[in-house]
Each structure stands twice: as structure tokens, then as C-alpha cells.
Chains A and B, each alone.
Chain A
Amino acid sequence: MTINNSLYYRTFQRDVYGMKMETKSTEYKTVVSDVLIIGAGGAGLRAAIEACDGGASVVIVSKSLLGKAHTVMAEGGIAASVADVDPKDNWEVHFSDTIREGVYMSDWRMVEILVKEAPKAVYELESYGALFDRTPDGKIMQRAFGAHTYKRLCHVGDKTGMELIRTLEDQVLHRDIKVMDELFITKIITKGNAVSGAFGLELRTGKFVVFQTKAIIMCSGGCGRLYKVTSNSWESTGDGVALAYNAGAVLRDMEMIQFHPTGMVYPPGVRGLLVTEGVRGEGGILLNSNGERFMLKYSPIKKELDARDVVARAIYAEIERGRGTKHGGVYLDISHMGAAFIHKKLPAMYTQFKEFAGVDITKEEMEVAPTVHYQMGGIRVDPESCKTNVKGLFAAGEVASGVHGANRLGGNSLADILVFGRRAGFSAAKYTKSAKHIYAVDEKAINEQIARVNSYASIKNPVNPYGLMERLRNAMSEHVGIIRDANGMQKALSTIKRIREKAGRVGVSGGLRFNPGLLVCLELDGMLIVAEAIIRSALERKESRGAHARSDFPKNNPNYAKNILCYKKNEEMELSMSPVPEMPDRLKKLVMT
């Protein structure tokens, strides 16, 4: 096919594009609303719907384009005990699975809410028009996933996240909700201990925006991009954790970073790209370079479908012991299930390997290795309402903590974002009714942000921000990875210190408008905070538990059955331990049996 190239680039341009190049600006526009939602992934969109239906005026912003948020990449499914495939399943079993695999670090009440409300969340998506795969009798199809006792993941092939986003996006677009996408939030502004607004940069125009608002719901996702090899998308740089921390919010469990056992290893450009657990759920097996099914040795009962931390460490150990593949992975094989089955159940995986690696997974093995996948920790929230310790600041989704403890079960995150997205939206709307007045946004804070952004765009002889970001990523991957020790982590801390010294001089040319280098400058500050929180918390936890494994403290230590908190005090990062809330007896019983 040929395309008619005689047409010129369209010259009609909306006025915003005709203006002069902005390398500096002191102007801003103000957007007023009851609720500002930061992030348009599953959590943010669900929160927006609920806050709007609760009578609040809602603005939702995201740094990527609407509909592109990281959630679109979710593959395997949503964990909910609708029991359409395994009638024995119920919320009690889901509860026990989640608490156990989280190694008793989860907030029991959050888990209880999650497992009880997840089925409703799935049905609600259907009432919004989502179409899940069906069982022969027309109910929702569910698949097996690591450490779930029953077949529990409601799914749409291996594109569940996309169905979720499209469905919610549609609901948002048909409501009176103001969407401002490609807008980067640089700061949450507070008055006393309460939220008064936020500052942002509109990427397409290079204009500053000040949000004046009663409540903010932080739904900004995770921080996988702190690492060199990750399944996460561009936007997962941990901004929300840093924004909330700077606003005074308490962080929890930051040391708990999930490594997904199976990421692609080859070719180099796609290293880290996720190979869904669905492959193992549908019957895929793991083999080392000697052709041995090594999971039989590490986990004779659950085998490939043991919890993620167990499988990831097994793969890591095989590779370390020289039984890895040429490109530093192990083999994952599903070809025995037959081509027709694979095309139906794992279409995206088939294309992914075919197109990126030239591998036909219906005939050949895949090469896989662990990849950074999820942050279990994050902002501490109240289980019922998702409020934080900062008045008017709520949080939901991957950016919040509490549900997943020391290890997240696959499928629990999509349930999490729907269930707690809804709750956050509901309580934020309710809060705005009682919070009568809206504070003026502090001029000084606004001017500081204007100066900060302008300085990146106008500094002479700037340091290249990409170089610093790469150093940070290398340090995190090398020293704060799947197996950690004090020595390495101290090295990573001093690298952070050195990067900070230079971070004051980063900058890029090219102005304020759609300038990816400028975003890296803006993200870097936050990434350093999040990295530091992860390392300090990990140093503090002198034991191995769930996803946190230390070679210098290889055993689990009951004295550390506590959450590590992290917050800002007198401009310094402080840590403290806090006992995990004790489960009531009625729930303890579920976990015992």
C-alpha cells in the first residue's frame, strides 16, 4: 500500500501551538475543584467516577495521554472470588491466601475489604460494559495464578488491564469530569497540615497550572523505573510517593519491591518486558539450561505456581549457579499446550515473542529472568477511607500500601485499584462536603515551583539528567535487587548522595513544551527520595521476609513482624517501626486452617 504524501502537515493549529517558544514563563492559570485526582490509571479513573457521583467537582490529571496509563499493560486478570469456575472459592480463602503470601505484613482490614469487595468490583465493571472471557455456561472465566488456592483471576485474554482502562475511561468521558492529560504535577501545596492545591506543567503547551482544591487523591502508580530492568512503563517513576512524602505523608513498607519471576531477557531492547504469569497459570513450565524442571526442587507442591518471591529467587539461584541460558535467563515452555490453545489464551504473549524476539512460543521455549514489577509499599492510608495523615490527601492503587504486605499475589492489584479507587473517591467527595472553605494556594510555594521548572530549562552548562538517572538505576539494580546486603546498600546510599550533589545543576535546552528531558529533571528529585526510602527501610529490616531477601540476614526474624514507616521530620528522612495491626480472632481462624 502507498500513502498519499502530497498532503502537507496540517497547518491549522490551535492557538496554543502558535505561540512563541517558552523557555521561561511566570504565568499560570488556576483550576479550581473540590477534588483533584493525580493519575488516570485504574485507581484514578475509578476514584473520579465515584467522586463525581458523590457530588464533587472533579479534575483528573495524568502525565501520559488519557487511556495510556500503566494499567493498560496488566495482563493476567483481576483476582475476585466470584467462584464461577471453582465453586468452592470464597472471600475467606482469598483472604487467607493474601495474608499468608504477604507474610503477615498486610493490614488485615484492607485485605478484608479487598477480598469482600472484589467480586462486586468485577460485576460493576461488567455493568459498565466490560466483557470478560466466558465459561461454557456463560459465566466469567477464571484462571489459575501463583499462590491462589483456586482458579480466581477474571480475565480478558492477556489484556485485562486494557479492558479495565477502556471501560472506565468511557465512564469518565461521559460524566462531568475535567480531564487534563499530559500534565505533570511537580508539587502538592499544603496549608498547615491540610492540602490546599498542587502545581503542574501542561506538557502540550508548556504552561503552568495551579490547582486549588479541597482534596487530592493520589493515584500515581508505582516506581519500577527506579531499576534498570523493569516491566513498568515510562511513567512509573514513583512521583506520587515523593510528592506525598514532601507534603508530610507517612510511607510504609518501602523495602518491599516485587520482582516478577518472568521478564524477557532478549533482545536487549525489551529486557524486563513482562511475560505474564498467565503462561505458568495455563501450564507453562520452567527449565534450566540442563533441561531440568528446577521448581520441583525448590517448591515440590506448588511448583511454577508458588508465590512470586519464591519463583523469582529460584530462577535467580539457577542463573547464579551457572545453569542459565546464553542471555542470562532460564527457559519457560508452554509449547506442549498446543498452538490453538496458546493463540486463544495468550495472544499478546504470542505476538510479543514473535515480533520482538522472533520466537514462536507455540513451538519454542521463551527465555526469561526476574524483572522489577511492583511496589508493595507506599503511602500509609486508613483502610476504610483511604485518607492519609495529611488532611485532604487520599491515596489509592499501587502508590498506597497495606494490602499486599511483603509480597503481592498476581491479580490482587487490579482488584486493589478498583476497590480502593472507589473508596477513595467516595470518601474524598464526602470530605469536601464537610470541608467548607477552599484555601488560597500559597504564592510563595507557587513561585518556588515556577523558579524550579524555569531553572531546569534555562541553566547554563547543565548536567545531563539522563546520565544521572542511569546511574541511579544501575545502583538500585546492582545493590538493592532481589538479594540485598548492608554493604551493597550503603554503596547505593552514597551513590544517591553523589547524584544529589549534581542534581541541582541538571537542565536541558528545548523549552518547557513537550520536553522529555525536562520531565527527567523533574522526576529525578522524587526518584532520589523514593530510592532513599527503599534503601533505608531495607537496611532497617535485618531479616529476610517475602520479597525482601538479605544475604547477611537470610532468616525470618519474628521481632521484625512489624511495618517500617518512613516520613519527613525537620527536613530529614526518619524511620520507625510500627506493629502490624492485630487481626481479630474471627479472621485469625481463617488463616490458621
Chain B
Amino acid sequence: MLAMNFRGAFKVRADYDMPYPEIEHPGDAIVRVLRSCICGSDLHLYHGLVPDTRVGMTFGHEFVGEIVDIGSDVKNVKTGDKVIVPFNISCGKCVFCKQELYGNCHEANPQATAVGGIFGYSHTAGGYNGGQAEYVRVPYADVGPTVIPEWMDLDDAVLLTDIVPTGYQAAEMGGIQKGDTVVVFGAGPIGIMAAKCAWLFGAGRVIVIDELEYRLEFVKKYAQCEVYNFKSLEDPVVFIKKTTDSLGADVCIDAVGAEAAGDAMNTLLGRKLLLQGGSTTALHWAINSVKKGGIVSIVGIYGPTACLVPMGNVVNKGITIRANQAAVKRLLPRLIEHVKNGVIDPKQLITHRIPLEEVAEGYHIFSTKLDNCIKPVLIPPTANS
């Protein structure tokens, strides 16, 4: 079958000779992929920053599709169902899943206890092939996959696998109280959704910081928020202090993660030499811009090794840090309602529709932010049959 095939940092190809997935466990399903996105998280793999990313693997954790085969234990979905597949693989039985920590399942990733199982996200996240393919194996098919409502557009559905729940949880973890000032670092799909969702929790002011003018333009309209380009600010932290009565924001959200720009030292240590689990510039800014007793919510992804953060300020300011992989399954019912009622319109973020055959160009476009790219979606040829 046709699938994305990783060949090393910055190199992927559309490979027509990848093996079809098989049922390997009675709880598995095989899904024919209808839409599959490239995520900012995939860029960390693509740039060679995630340890144990093996050549020959297929990426892709944001996909929707039709179930074409199920294992003998699967009861909740059947062949022919079109499903949203959360990016986290979760068993539904371990104590973490039972407490709705679906991003922290203990029965989906033998390689690392600190990371759950994620489709197509290196062996550090379980060694699963992902959905940037015509077909994909979906374990625990009774738990994650959720049938797409009749009325829902596939383009909305595919964004419910990750970026909408992640942006929503970023705001949720901010513990936003009515009237709070919320600063979101990053105007990628995650930051855009976090800004949009901050209002749903009652924010009084929402500010987004990035360096890409076209993304700031987009989020300003899409999420009706204030935007600032950090390239034109001498010191983003000082600027935020000044614009928040000198006290700082109530809540800061890191929606950038390991590949943050804006500080040469962090870039060198975290992105070039890989001596820390990524560049922590946005996290620095978040910690330093939040007010005393404030909350920093982190959804940006960092590597497994240690990272330099201004811990002294965390302690001295009494900051609460909250972070996680989004628990997609927990949030889906609420978010499906929000899409239905027009509170959130996810598909507006899709700027590029790319045939799976051109996956290498898709990665290049998203990685180098060519052609004002915000969110690319890959469409396998079999999606049209």
C-alpha cells in the first residue's frame, strides 16, 4: 500500500511498497484512512529531535477513516463505521485510563513509562505505524475510535483527533477564571485553538505571541484576540508586564514546545546540539510573564532529556505548572457539541490539501512555513474510492 516512509531527518517519501497493516490483537481494527494531517509534533520527528525515531517508520497521529476489519473482541464499532481516532492509544482498563488520563495509558507503550502510546510517533511513543497511509492498525478499537456524526464534515472530524482537544485542554489546564488575562505563546494550530478556547472559559483578554506575521493575522481574526510579533519586541516579557499593569498575565500557555525560536543559547543547546530536550524559550517567557501565583499551562512538546527552565522564578513566584498530552477521548463529547453549535469551526485552519503521494512536499511546506501554511491535510488516493 501507499504510506509515508521516514528516511532520516528532513527526508520522507511516499512509498507504494509498504506492507498492509494486520490485526495483531483481538482488540484491533484496521482503518482505511480518509484524511490525515501533519502536526507540529510530527515536525519534531521530521527534524530528527525525538530519540528512537527509526528509519522505515510511518508517521501520522491525526487521522479519520472507515473501519474495514475488526478483531474478535471488538464490540463498540463495526466495519463500515467512519471514525475519529484520538491520537492517544488507550486501553480503557488501566488506572490512568479509568481516571480519564487517556494520554497516559500504562498498557500501550513498552518503551517508555513516561510517555503513552501515540500513533506514528517513534518508538519512544510505542513504535506504532501511523495514519499517513492508506490503511492503519488501530489498537483498542473499543476505546478510542468515536463514530463521526452524520452531519459532521470530515475536515472538522480530522481536527478533533488532536489540535482542537489539545488547544482546549491547554486553556482548561490554565484554570482560567472569568476576566483573566491569558497569553498564548505560539500561533500554530495548537496556539490558535488555545486562544479560541480561552474565551470559552471566560477569559477577559487573550494575547497571542508569535513571529510569523501571517499566522498572527489569522489568529487575530479567527480567535478575536490581540496579537504581537516577538521579533518587533525588544523583550517579550517586559512588554507583557507593561501591558498587564506591570503584574503579569494570570495565565500563560506554552503552545510552542521544543523548537522555540527567539533565543540563540536555547536554540543552540536544544535544537542544534540536542543537549537538552528542546529549546525552552517560549516556556521561559511563559514562566517569566505570568503573575505571582499564576498558572502556566504547557502543551508544547519537549524531548525526554532535561530542559533548562528558570526554576527559581517558578518557586519564588509561586507558579502552578500544569501540563499533559491532551486526553482526546475525554474531551470529544463536549467538543463535538461545540462544533455542532458553531462555537468552534475547526476546518478554517486547513490551508493545504495535499495528495498522500506528495507527502514529502507536504512536510517541506509545513516545516518551512511556505505558502502561508497553517494546517496541511493529506488525502490518500483510496479515500476517494
Partners in one complex: no
What is A's interface to B at a CB cutoff of 8 Å? Answer: none
What is B's interface to A at a CB cutoff of 8 Å? Answer: none
